Structure 1
């Protein structure tokens, strides 16, 4: 995991999660300008990360695509890590997510985080419109493994996607005879239960717990 140099005076690192809240009498344009201003302030004040969450078809949340806002913020900030907290992976194709975050890391090397969740981030009807099928939650570990294979270009030769490569990425650098990128997006597992915590442990990945809607008794659950 990439850890930036600490700055500021807090005794521990602080980060921001922005859910892009909006509401009656508040336009999405207002919300986006407020997000940009908050990210710039957090960058200036020495916060470690600025994450955004994915929500669909909700009147009170304005970011269905965190990666698009991350792309904007790469040009608005200088040192803070930017990321999705998170991308609801069963709503997406792993190859496309790998391509998107390869591009983001090229725009802001060493500053990109990719948090992965398995909830739909919406209601059942909208999840269906996203082509999210009924077994999506159960297939989350396989999707994460596939995403990591694309990000790292690490599929074994007998894998069906061994000749499929995410661009930008290590394969493209090799083909173009240039040094590979020294950085890649940090992959986090997100969750509100022990299921995702155990998966993160198995994969050796950092874990972010959604205490706002998870169990407050997390220590006993994880023991």
Structure 2
């Protein structure tokens, strides 16, 4: 099995990960593996404590259990995202697709189903953090009133900044780089998420969320069009055609 490698320190020190789980055994094991991989780890066993810890030391990433006492992981995710962007990996206790969809709907960047391998979780953390860093170089992308600055990780629609999660930003950037081409969900999962396998509903949910932020009428999308039997196509001319 692949071993988690030592994480390179950033200019501000090693990345800080907040682990939120009410099961002390799970939290201790996860925190131990992350610590050995070179991360600074904070722990919380419920939602209010997690929000307090995050406010005191804003994390670079949150590993968040969906099933928490009192305030569940979905509400914790919503409240954290209300204060600023932060990548979230959701832990779901069951292999229940509804749980995974709920986590993705509130903007989780990845999810891991219990029971899981702590080594796998560390690799997921590394993957999400690596993709969340601003690009060192990258030309601005734009079409149909949308503009993306990869270096600053900022996106605007008709001059107004869009509040996009990590994966939504990556998905929009990918579509803007490949206008007019149809991509299957497997292609998007590989190119945007960097996964060769996974739950394709992840792509479906993120496309739906992105449409909600860039389309005039998400129920009748003109920019991100469904290509039946294939997947999705970004059509910059779709907005003009519908106006």
- Select the structure with the greater relative contact order (CA < 8 A; seq sep ≥ 6): 1
| Structure with greater strand percent | 2
Q: What TM-score range do you get, normalising by the shorter chain?
A: 0.3 to 0.5
TM-score (norm 2): 0.31
TM-score (norm 1): 0.33
